[in-house]
Amino acid sequence: MPKTPAFNFPQDLLDAQAALHETRAAYEEYARTLPWSAEPMPGWKSDKQLHSDYRSAKDDSPGYTEDQHAEVARFRARLLELSTTVSTHPFWDSVDHGNRVEARMALKHAHEPTEA
C-alpha cells in the first residue's frame, strides 16, 4: 500500500480546523434543542404507510425565539469565518495540486490521536 505523504500543517491552520470542528459540534448540539421549524408552523400527521403501521408526525412548532434566531446566526457566522480561514489559508499554496484533497483530509483528522 502506498505511503501517504506527511503534511507539516502550521499551528494557526491546525487551531482553525480544531475550532471549526468544535464549533460545528456545538452548533449541532444546540440545533437539537430547537423547535423543528424556525417559524411557527402547524403540526401534521401523515397517512399510514403501506405494509406498515408507521405514521410520521410532527407537533406544532412555536418557531424560534429572538434569542434562538440570534444564537443560530452567531453560530453560522462563526462557522463561515472558520471555514473561510481554513479553506483560504496560505498553506494550501505550498501543497501540490495533486495532493490537496489528501492534505485536506489529513487536516480534518489531525486532531485525532495517532496509533502507536
| Residue 46 maps to a domain | no
| Residue 42 maps to a domain | no
Number of domains in the chain: 1
| Residue 40 maps to a domain | no
Q: The domain containing residue 100 runs over which residues?
A: 9-35+64-111
| Residue 99 maps to a domain | yes
Give pLDDT tens digits for 40-62. Answer: 999 989 887 778 888 889 999 99
| Residue 52 maps to a domain | no
Against a cut of 0.85, is the pTM above it? no
Confidence of residue 8 (pLDDT cuts 50, 70, 90): very high
Confidence of residue 1 (pLDDT cuts 50, 70, 90): very low
Calculate the alpha carbon distances from 17 to 27, 102, 113 in Å.
15, 15, 15
φ, ψ (nearest 5 deg) of residue 57: -155, 155
